[in-house]
Amino acid sequence: MSRFIYADHAGTTALSRAALEAMAPYLTERYGNPSSLYRFGQEAKSDLEQARSDVAACIGAKPEELFFTSGGTEADNWALKGVLEWMALKGKPTGHIITSAIEHHAILHTAQHLEKQGYDVTYLPVDELGRVSPAEVEAAIRPDTLLISIMAANNEIGTIQPVAEIGAVARKHKVLFHTDAVQAVGHIPVDVEAWNVDLLSLSAHKFQGPKGVGALYVRKPLRLPPLIHGGGQEKGRRSGTENVAGVVGMAAALKEAAAQLETEGARLSALRDRLIDGLTRLPYSRLTGDPANRLPGTASFVFEGVEGEALLLHLDSRGICASSGSACSSASLDPSHVLLAIGLPHAIAHGSLRLSLGADNTDADVDAILAAVPEVVAYLREMSPVWDAAEQKPTWVVE
């Protein structure tokens, strides 16, 4: 009886059947190059453009504003570097960027790279629920601010940001606004018009599309200089022979996700809330992130006196795949920047667990998780020198 419960959908998802079936012909008989002039190539081109229209429609964009990339990381890199290069071409070779302390590393490490090149970066703090304040965004805007980049929803703690409000602030001050919507697209309603965003990154494998494909939305008339140079595909903005199968799979997956957004969102929220309700009953455990404004499938916790990697490995041996922002699950010795940014002390941040639910999860999975996690937490606390077994509390006093 080897049970397998996948609860790491914020990490990646399985390809949907619709996506797989849409892709299959392009991996076999429809392998034409969209840049070729003969009909065999032009058919692929036509299918690629249909996929562009489909993806654009799901985020309220025009097809000509959508550019396919190799994924979310490339889209984030291109958004930041491209906007700054475009500004430099317009006579602003240096300036200021506003982002947040809880962005994905695709943004944070790009911003740090740009700092080394002379740009000034403000990393806005977040509150204890992981929210960026639109008023703080506004207060951070300077005459030389070139770009604001704030994620739509956080990958570790599931907090959904007030993107539309931040977009309104950006619009009011005529500053370009990018949002990394990798965790949001396909999970919550996304509308580039309602959100007032100028650029938006998305990634297919987060909504049951294939890995290695994503897109950057770029509001017209903004024309980003390319990040990748070459044969001039994507109207010269992103070279490289198009990943037709990937793009078609992404479109099929997103259409399906968009059609089920409400029903699946409600179903996952109910499962998620069962996890939250059950696991926050454990002593010295708490929910991380915003209890109200959070991604439907994401439940994230910290358990005092327990180290996250050990927790994950024990869950794995019980057939449960989950994730942690623990330092020990990475080569760095610091716990996740997100958990520190919401004000958790190091000692507690080490005990983090993220359970992210998706299409394949059921009430039975939640039951199994609700049985396994308390057992593992109790077991690890039992062997922990910082847990007082008699008192059932940690021996440390957290500052």
Interacting span for other proteins (CB under 8 A) from 113-121, 222-230, 249-257, 326-334: 326-334
User: How many other β-carbons are positioned within 10 Å of the β-carbon of residue 46?
Assistant: 12
Looking at beta carbons only, is 227 or 376 nearer to other proteins?
376
Exactly one of 24, 140, 328, 378 binds other proteins (CB under 8 A); which one? 328
**Is residue 392 close enough to count as binding other proteins by CB under 8 A?**
no
Interacting span for other proteins (CB under 8 A) from 14-22, 140-148, 190-198, 346-354: 346-354
User: How many other β-carbons are positioned within 10 Å of the β-carbon of residue 62?
Assistant: 14
**Is residue 331 close enough to count as binding other proteins by CB under 8 A?**
yes
**Is residue 1 close enough to count as binding other proteins by CB under 8 A?**
no
Question: Choosing from 129, 168, 328, 378, which is the catalytic residue?
Answer: 328
**Is residue 347 close enough to count as binding other proteins by CB under 8 A?**
yes
- Sheet architecture: strand order including 199-203: 66-69, 214-218, 199-203, 176-180, 145-149, 96-100, 120-124
* CB 26, CB 44: distance < 8 Å: yes
Element (H, E) at 108: helix 105-116
Nearest Cα residue to 307 out of 356, 343, 348: 348
Angle, helices 244-259 vs 17-27, to 10°: value is: 160
**Is residue 284 close enough to count as binding other proteins by CB under 8 A?**
no
Exactly one of 82, 246, 335, 358 binds other proteins (CB under 8 A); which one? 335
Exactly one of 73, 183, 329, 361 binds other proteins (CB under 8 A); which one? 329
Dihedral through CA 154, CA 157, CA 158, CA 160, nearest 10? Answer: -60
Exactly one of 346, 370, 388, 393 binds other proteins (CB under 8 A); which one? 346
**Is residue 375 close enough to count as binding other proteins by CB under 8 A?**
no
Number of DSSP helices (H) and strands (E) in the chain, helices first: 13, 14
Nearest Cα residue to 99 out of 131, 129, 125, 124: 124
Residue 328 known to be catalytic: yes
Residues 297-316 within binding reach of other proteins (CB under 8 A):
305-310, 313-314
Chain residues that interact with other proteins, rule: CB under 8 A: 305-310, 313-314, 317, 326-329, 331, 333, 335, 345-347, 350, 380, 383-387, 396
Catalytic positions: 328
